[in-house]
Chains A and B, each alone.
Chain A
Amino acid sequence: MPTLDSAETQRAFTGKLGAEEDPSRGDHHFYVFRVGTTVVATTKISRGSRHTISDDLVARMARQLGVTSNALSQAVACSLGKTAFHRLLAAGVPFKQRPRSG
Protein backbone atom coordinates (compact mmCIF):
# COMPACT_ATOMS: atom_id res chain seq x y z
CA MET A 1 0.00 0.00 0.00
CA PRO A 2 1.49 3.33 -1.02
CA THR A 3 2.31 6.20 1.25
CA LEU A 4 2.94 9.74 0.02
CA ASP A 5 5.07 12.65 1.07
CA SER A 6 2.81 15.59 1.89
CA ALA A 7 4.99 18.26 0.30
CA GLU A 8 5.55 16.26 -2.89
CA THR A 9 1.85 15.55 -3.12
CA GLN A 10 0.92 19.21 -2.73
CA ARG A 11 3.41 20.17 -5.43
CA ALA A 12 2.12 17.46 -7.75
CA PHE A 13 -1.52 18.44 -7.24
CA THR A 14 -1.08 22.12 -8.02
CA GLY A 15 1.68 21.59 -10.55
CA LYS A 16 1.53 18.80 -13.02
CA LEU A 17 -1.93 17.55 -12.10
CA GLY A 18 -3.55 20.95 -12.50
CA ALA A 19 -5.58 21.10 -9.29
CA GLU A 20 -6.49 24.43 -7.77
CA GLU A 21 -5.74 24.94 -4.11
CA ASP A 22 -8.55 26.60 -2.24
CA PRO A 23 -7.28 29.91 -0.90
CA SER A 24 -9.03 29.69 2.45
CA ARG A 25 -6.79 29.43 5.49
CA GLY A 26 -8.43 26.64 7.43
CA ASP A 27 -6.82 23.65 9.06
CA HIS A 28 -6.48 21.80 5.77
CA HIS A 29 -5.30 22.42 2.25
CA PHE A 30 -8.16 21.60 -0.08
CA TYR A 31 -7.42 20.68 -3.69
CA VAL A 32 -10.08 21.02 -6.36
CA PHE A 33 -9.94 18.99 -9.56
CA ARG A 34 -11.86 20.02 -12.63
CA VAL A 35 -12.61 18.24 -15.85
CA GLY A 36 -13.31 21.03 -18.26
CA THR A 37 -15.08 23.62 -16.14
CA THR A 38 -16.81 21.11 -13.88
CA VAL A 39 -15.47 20.40 -10.42
CA VAL A 40 -15.42 16.62 -10.25
CA ALA A 41 -13.49 15.90 -7.07
CA THR A 42 -11.73 17.40 -4.12
CA THR A 43 -9.31 16.12 -1.56
CA LYS A 44 -7.38 17.57 1.33
CA ILE A 45 -4.07 17.44 3.12
CA SER A 46 -3.59 18.61 6.68
CA ARG A 47 -1.63 21.80 7.15
CA GLY A 48 1.50 21.69 9.22
CA SER A 49 4.98 20.40 8.77
CA ARG A 50 5.97 18.01 6.02
CA HIS A 51 4.81 14.52 6.84
CA THR A 52 4.20 11.10 5.39
CA ILE A 53 0.61 10.48 4.39
CA SER A 54 -0.15 6.97 5.59
CA ASP A 55 -1.54 4.30 3.33
CA ASP A 56 -4.86 4.52 5.15
CA LEU A 57 -5.16 8.19 4.28
CA VAL A 58 -3.87 7.73 0.73
CA ALA A 59 -6.67 5.22 0.23
CA ARG A 60 -9.21 7.76 1.45
CA MET A 61 -7.81 10.52 -0.74
CA ALA A 62 -7.86 8.21 -3.74
CA ARG A 63 -11.44 7.27 -3.01
CA GLN A 64 -12.42 10.93 -2.86
CA LEU A 65 -10.87 11.37 -6.29
CA GLY A 66 -12.44 8.23 -7.71
CA VAL A 67 -9.11 6.62 -8.55
CA THR A 68 -7.10 3.81 -7.04
CA SER A 69 -4.37 4.34 -4.48
CA ASN A 70 -1.83 3.12 -6.99
CA ALA A 71 -3.03 5.55 -9.64
CA LEU A 72 -2.82 8.42 -7.17
CA SER A 73 0.63 7.35 -6.11
CA GLN A 74 1.77 7.07 -9.72
CA ALA A 75 0.34 10.47 -10.57
CA VAL A 76 2.24 12.08 -7.70
CA ALA A 77 5.39 10.23 -8.70
CA CYS A 78 5.13 11.37 -12.33
CA SER A 79 4.71 7.91 -13.80
CA LEU A 80 1.12 8.81 -14.65
CA GLY A 81 0.70 12.06 -16.54
CA LYS A 82 -1.89 14.77 -16.21
CA THR A 83 -3.87 13.70 -19.26
CA ALA A 84 -4.09 10.11 -18.11
CA PHE A 85 -4.92 11.15 -14.57
CA HIS A 86 -7.68 13.47 -15.74
CA ARG A 87 -9.04 10.68 -17.89
CA LEU A 88 -9.27 8.60 -14.72
CA LEU A 89 -10.92 11.47 -12.87
CA ALA A 90 -13.48 11.84 -15.63
CA ALA A 91 -14.20 8.14 -15.79
CA GLY A 92 -13.77 7.36 -12.14
CA VAL A 93 -16.57 6.61 -9.80
CA PRO A 94 -16.65 9.36 -7.21
CA PHE A 95 -16.63 8.42 -3.57
CA LYS A 96 -20.26 7.48 -3.46
CA GLN A 97 -22.77 6.96 -6.16
CA ARG A 98 -25.95 6.77 -4.29
CA PRO A 99 -29.11 8.60 -5.20
CA ARG A 100 -29.79 11.58 -3.03
CA SER A 101 -32.91 13.53 -2.53
CA GLY A 102 -33.12 17.26 -1.99
Chain B
Amino acid sequence: MTTREAFRVNAQALSDETVVSQEYSGQSQFIAGARKGAQRQRVRRSPRGQQQQPSGQIQVVIQQAKDGTWIADDSETGQFGVGASADEAVRDLLTTLLEYRDVLRTRRHSLSSSLAGDLRLLERRFAEDG
Protein backbone atom coordinates (compact mmCIF):
# COMPACT_ATOMS: atom_id res chain seq x y z
CA MET B 1 0.00 0.00 0.00
CA THR B 2 1.38 3.34 -0.94
CA THR B 3 -1.30 5.87 -0.15
CA ARG B 4 -3.63 6.16 2.76
CA GLU B 5 -6.30 8.78 2.92
CA ALA B 6 -9.34 9.05 5.10
CA PHE B 7 -12.55 10.34 3.61
CA ARG B 8 -16.00 10.76 4.95
CA VAL B 9 -18.59 9.74 2.47
CA ASN B 10 -22.17 10.81 2.75
CA ALA B 11 -24.34 7.76 2.41
CA GLN B 12 -27.66 9.46 2.81
CA ALA B 13 -30.07 9.08 -0.05
CA LEU B 14 -27.73 6.65 -1.69
CA SER B 15 -29.28 4.71 -4.52
CA ASP B 16 -28.55 3.90 -8.11
CA GLU B 17 -24.87 3.95 -7.29
CA THR B 18 -25.14 7.54 -6.23
CA VAL B 19 -22.08 8.49 -4.31
CA VAL B 20 -22.65 11.83 -2.83
CA SER B 21 -19.72 13.63 -1.43
CA GLN B 22 -16.43 13.18 0.23
CA GLU B 23 -14.59 15.37 2.59
CA TYR B 24 -10.87 15.37 3.02
CA SER B 25 -8.61 17.86 4.73
CA GLY B 26 -11.52 20.20 5.16
CA GLN B 27 -12.38 20.32 1.48
CA SER B 28 -15.42 18.69 -0.01
CA GLN B 29 -15.78 17.60 -3.55
CA PHE B 30 -18.35 15.60 -5.40
CA ILE B 31 -17.19 12.29 -6.67
CA ALA B 32 -20.40 11.47 -8.42
CA GLY B 33 -23.64 13.21 -9.10
CA ALA B 34 -26.22 13.31 -6.36
CA ARG B 35 -29.46 12.24 -7.94
CA LYS B 36 -31.72 12.52 -4.96
CA GLY B 37 -30.82 15.91 -3.70
CA ALA B 38 -28.31 14.82 -1.12
CA GLN B 39 -26.06 17.60 0.01
CA ARG B 40 -22.54 17.90 1.15
CA GLN B 41 -22.16 17.68 4.88
CA ARG B 42 -19.40 19.08 6.93
CA VAL B 43 -17.75 16.87 9.47
CA ARG B 44 -18.74 18.20 12.85
CA ARG B 45 -16.16 18.64 15.50
CA SER B 46 -16.75 18.15 19.18
CA PRO B 47 -15.52 20.70 21.70
CA ARG B 48 -12.41 18.57 22.18
CA GLY B 49 -11.69 18.73 18.51
CA GLN B 50 -12.57 15.11 17.85
CA GLN B 51 -14.47 14.42 14.71
CA GLN B 52 -18.02 13.21 15.07
CA GLN B 53 -19.60 11.14 12.38
CA PRO B 54 -22.81 12.76 11.17
CA SER B 55 -25.69 10.41 10.64
CA GLY B 56 -25.50 8.76 7.26
CA GLN B 57 -21.80 9.28 6.78
CA ILE B 58 -19.20 6.58 6.44
CA GLN B 59 -15.56 6.98 7.24
CA VAL B 60 -13.68 5.45 4.37
CA VAL B 61 -9.97 4.74 4.23
CA ILE B 62 -8.59 4.66 0.71
CA GLN B 63 -5.31 3.02 -0.15
CA GLN B 64 -3.48 2.35 -3.36
CA ALA B 65 -2.17 -1.19 -3.59
CA LYS B 66 1.16 -2.23 -5.04
CA ASP B 67 -0.53 -3.26 -8.27
CA GLY B 68 -1.96 0.22 -8.71
CA THR B 69 -5.56 -0.60 -7.83
CA TRP B 70 -7.36 1.43 -5.23
CA ILE B 71 -9.07 -0.10 -2.21
CA ALA B 72 -11.67 1.70 -0.11
CA ASP B 73 -12.28 0.26 3.36
CA ASP B 74 -15.20 0.79 5.69
CA SER B 75 -13.55 0.31 9.03
CA GLU B 76 -16.83 -0.35 10.83
CA THR B 77 -18.11 -3.28 8.81
CA GLY B 78 -14.91 -4.56 7.22
CA GLN B 79 -16.41 -4.23 3.77
CA PHE B 80 -14.22 -2.95 0.96
CA GLY B 81 -14.44 -1.65 -2.56
CA VAL B 82 -11.92 -1.90 -5.36
CA GLY B 83 -11.36 0.22 -8.43
CA ALA B 84 -8.95 1.67 -10.92
CA SER B 85 -9.31 5.03 -9.20
CA ALA B 86 -10.16 6.20 -5.71
CA ASP B 87 -13.60 7.31 -6.82
CA GLU B 88 -14.29 3.96 -8.45
CA ALA B 89 -13.20 2.18 -5.27
CA VAL B 90 -15.55 4.29 -3.17
CA ARG B 91 -18.42 3.64 -5.54
CA ASP B 92 -17.68 -0.08 -5.40
CA LEU B 93 -17.61 0.08 -1.62
CA LEU B 94 -20.99 1.77 -1.46
CA THR B 95 -22.49 -0.77 -3.84
CA THR B 96 -20.96 -3.49 -1.68
CA LEU B 97 -22.45 -2.03 1.47
CA LEU B 98 -25.95 -1.99 -0.02
CA GLU B 99 -25.57 -5.56 -1.23
CA TYR B 100 -24.16 -6.60 2.13
CA ARG B 101 -27.12 -5.04 3.90
CA ASP B 102 -29.50 -7.00 1.68
CA VAL B 103 -27.58 -10.24 2.25
CA LEU B 104 -27.90 -9.73 5.99
CA ARG B 105 -31.55 -8.67 5.79
CA THR B 106 -32.60 -11.88 4.15
CA ARG B 107 -30.98 -13.80 7.01
CA ARG B 108 -31.97 -11.42 9.76
CA HIS B 109 -33.12 -14.11 12.16
CA SER B 110 -30.01 -16.27 11.98
CA LEU B 111 -27.22 -13.71 12.27
CA SER B 112 -24.46 -13.79 14.84
CA SER B 113 -24.49 -10.81 17.18
CA SER B 114 -21.65 -9.21 15.26
CA LEU B 115 -23.43 -9.46 11.92
CA ALA B 116 -26.70 -8.31 13.48
CA GLY B 117 -24.77 -5.24 14.60
CA ASP B 118 -23.60 -4.66 11.03
CA LEU B 119 -27.19 -4.87 9.82
CA ARG B 120 -28.37 -2.34 12.38
CA LEU B 121 -25.55 -0.01 11.42
CA LEU B 122 -26.26 -0.29 7.70
CA GLU B 123 -29.99 0.21 8.16
CA ARG B 124 -29.24 3.40 10.05
CA ARG B 125 -26.78 4.58 7.42
CA PHE B 126 -29.08 3.92 4.51
CA ALA B 127 -32.29 4.78 6.26
CA GLU B 128 -33.66 6.61 3.23
CA ASP B 129 -32.79 3.89 0.81
CA GLY B 130 -35.55 1.39 1.46
Contact = CB atoms under 8 A, between A and B. Distances in A.
Given A39-B111, A57-B80, A100-B120, A30 B65 contact: no
B71 A56 contact: yes
Interface in A18-70: 22, 24, 26-28, 30, 32, 34, 37-42, 44, 46, 54, 56-57, 60, 63-64
Interface stretch (A7-15, A72-80, A89-97): A89-97
Contacts of A37: 110
Mostly helix, strand, loop or mixed at chain A's interface?
mixed
Contacts, number: 81
B120 A30 contact: no
Interface string B71-84: 10101111110100
Contact of B77 (A28, A39, A57, A95): A95
Contact of B114 (A24, A30, A54, A94): A94
B103 A30 contact: yes
B95 A57 contact: no
What are the 6 A-B residue pairs with the smallest beta carbon separation, nearest first?
Answer: A95-B78, A26-B99, A100-B117, A94-B114, A30-B103, A56-B65
Interface of B: 1, 65-67, 69, 71, 73, 75-80, 82, 92, 95-96, 98-100, 102-104, 106-107, 110-112, 114-115, 117, 120-121, 124
